[in-house]
Structure 1
Amino acid sequence: MNVFGVDIGGSGIKGAPVDLERGELAQERCKVLTPHPSKPDAVAAGVKEVVTHFGWSGPVGVTFPGVVTDGVTRTAANMDPAWVGLDARAMLADTLGLPVTVRNDADAAGIAEMAFGAGKGHDGTVILLTFGTGIGSAVFVGGRLLPNTELGHLELGGHEAEKRASSKAKEDHGLSWKHWAERVSGYLAHLEMLFSPELFVIGGGVSRKSDKFLPLIDGIRAQVVPAALENNAGIVGAAMAASAAHAPSAA
């Protein structure tokens, strides 16, 4: 069964139909740039462009980089403030003319990795982190998700962690892989002190280049691995959420 997933990020909006039996994209994804400013109407138009690219007519799962409860976006650290308090599910459903499910981006990626990827079969404490414009997080204990953790906003070195250790921070400050890995190591050590996970799963676009920095991660007791679904995990998780919410009518 195929269901459509869309992953909204600070830099790009990407989506594709997902084969939920295999946990893989059923077609090559379509990606458009996130508009700046990232006003809701402009972002919704980008989502519509991605969905209509495939001529899709069934339920759509959408991720958002912020806290999401009952389809309402509660925070928007790397998006326009107009998203805060918005019924994003209703707004996107109206724009697309289709049933829509909305959930936190890292939570969606984590659910996909636990079902099909690096977290599959792990019953202990697992933390997935998505490194991109910011740092998203998904925490699982015994396979159950603690939603909307947003651990990228923890303090690290006197700043929000994502301001020092995200992929964007690496680019903005011209950090070498070694220097960036030192910052990531410090961040992981802080999370390890707080949560004592058995496994860290590193996702986001940077997961495609895990060979450049994972060997440089130091001082972490937990296993640290790249996301098996790489930067498609959010799309897969979004489709899983849509399937769960709209199973009777899923295409």
Structure 2
Amino acid sequence: MLEDNGSIRTLSVDIGGSGVKAIVLDITGTPVTERKRLDTPQPAKPETIINAIAVLASAQGEFHRVAVGFPGVVRCGVTETAANLDRDWIGFDLESALSQRLHKPVRVINDADMQGFGAVAGKGVELVITLGTGFGSALFVDGKLVPNMEMGHHPFRKGKTYEEQLGRAELEKIGEKRWNRRLDKAIASLQSLFNYDYLYIGGGEAVRVNLQLPLNVKLIPNITGLLGGIALWRN
């Protein structure tokens, strides 16, 4: 079996609204290469992003399989939503297209879900949110993923969604001080909604969080989104 071979390497890819990142992991999920990043090509269509992934892959050395985190709903390798990319992604079979391009087996999952796999402890109710171009979310119960939860597009306050209130565009518009106050309100709202045991906050803008966080809320590094890629191949 592929998973039984300790020498198997996984190319882990994180597709974001502003950057595409890649790293190679060993069978335990430990990085064996340096994380590399390219700006997300514009327009962010499937062909241009697959080209960017191919460029990153060619610089990562040997790998045997691929795990991809995508910023939208993913079902059976097909991307069903793409709020921060091009509309051509809707209904696109990324798993098959990338497998044909790289000549390797590929598994695709929502990017926040993949980050969650890299963060959660596997006990109780654990919520993950990612702060970046948009607002990603993932929910785990005793380590099991609740799939396709796009909480970022649900109402938060003043008739606007979490993503509209806390995405990168709004952060740049209102500044870090007001943005952090909103995030503080969001944390309280999510605690009341999910009664989570732990909340993990990741994504590219997590470095701009400047709050006294509750004891059950933890900031996680952006690389967690890549480290979670090994979970896609654990079965």
Same fold (TM over 0.5): yes
2:204 is aligned with 1:214: no
The secondary structure found in structure 1 opposite 2:72 is coil
Distance, in Å, in 2 between the alignment partners of 1:112 and 1:168 is 26
Pick closer, same or farther for the CA change 1:20–1:132 going to 2, 3 Å. farther
Give ranges in structure 1 of 5+ residues lacking alignment: 115-119, 246-251
> In the alignment, which of 55, 74, 77 is matched to residue 83 of structure 2?
77
Distance, in Å, in 2 between the alignment partners of 1:134 and 1:155 is 14
The secondary structure found in structure 1 opposite 2:107 is strand
Q: CA deviation at 1:184?
A: 0.8
User: Which structure has the higher relative contact order (CA within 8 Å, separation 6+)?
Assistant: 1
Q: Which residue of 1 aligns with 2:161?
A: 160
State how 1:10-49 maps to structure 2 within 5 Å: 10-21=17-28, 23-49=29-55
Q: CA deviation at 1:141?
A: 1.3
Contact 1:214–1:224 under 8 Å retained in 2: no
Q: Which moved more, 1:105-114 or 1:159-168?
A: 159-168
> In the alignment, which of 217, 226, 233 is matched to residue 224 of structure 2?
233
Q: CA deviation at 1:24?
A: 3.3
Percent identical among aligned pairs is 36
Distance, in Å, in 2 between the alignment partners of 1:123 and 1:61 is 24
Contact 2:11–2:63 under 8 Å retained in 1: no
Deviations along 1:211-236, one digit per CA (max 9) or x if unpaired, are xx132x5xx6x721111xx1111211
Give ranges in structure 2 of 5+ residues lacking alignment: 1-5
Q: Which residue of 2 aligns with 1:223?
A: 216
Contact 1:58–1:98 under 8 Å retained in 2: yes
Q: Which residue of 1 aligns with 2:3?
A: none
Pick closer, same or farther for the CA change 1:20–1:205 going to 2, 3 Å. farther
Q: Which residue of 2 aligns with 1:4?
A: 11
Report the structure, 1 or 2, having the larger helix content: 1
Distance, in Å, in 2 between the alignment partners of 1:20 and 1:191 is 34
TM-score w.r.t. length of structure 1 = 0.84
Distance, in Å, in 1 between the alignment partners of 2:31 and 2:206 is 17
Q: Which residue of 2 aligns with 1:117?
A: none
Contact 1:165–1:187 under 8 Å retained in 2: no
Contact 1:60–1:239 under 8 Å retained in 2: no
State how 1:73-152 maps to structure 2 within 5 Å: 73-114=79-120, 120=121, 123-152=123-152
Distance, in Å, in 1 between the alignment partners of 2:65 and 2:188 is 40
Pick closer, same or farther for the CA change 1:110–1:38 going to 2, 3 Å. same
Q: CA deviation at 1:190?
A: 2.3
Contact 1:39–1:82 under 8 Å retained in 2: yes
Say how many residue pairs are matched: 227
The secondary structure found in structure 2 opposite 1:102 is strand
CA RMSD of the aligned region, Å?
A: 1.8
Contact 1:64–1:104 under 8 Å retained in 2: yes
Tell me which stretches of 4 or more aligned residues in structure 1 moved more than 2 Å.
Answer: 166-169, 206-210
Residue identity matched to 2:139: V
The secondary structure found in structure 2 opposite 1:139 is strand
TM-score w.r.t. length of structure 2 = 0.90
Distance, in Å, in 2 between the alignment partners of 1:214 and 1:101 is 36
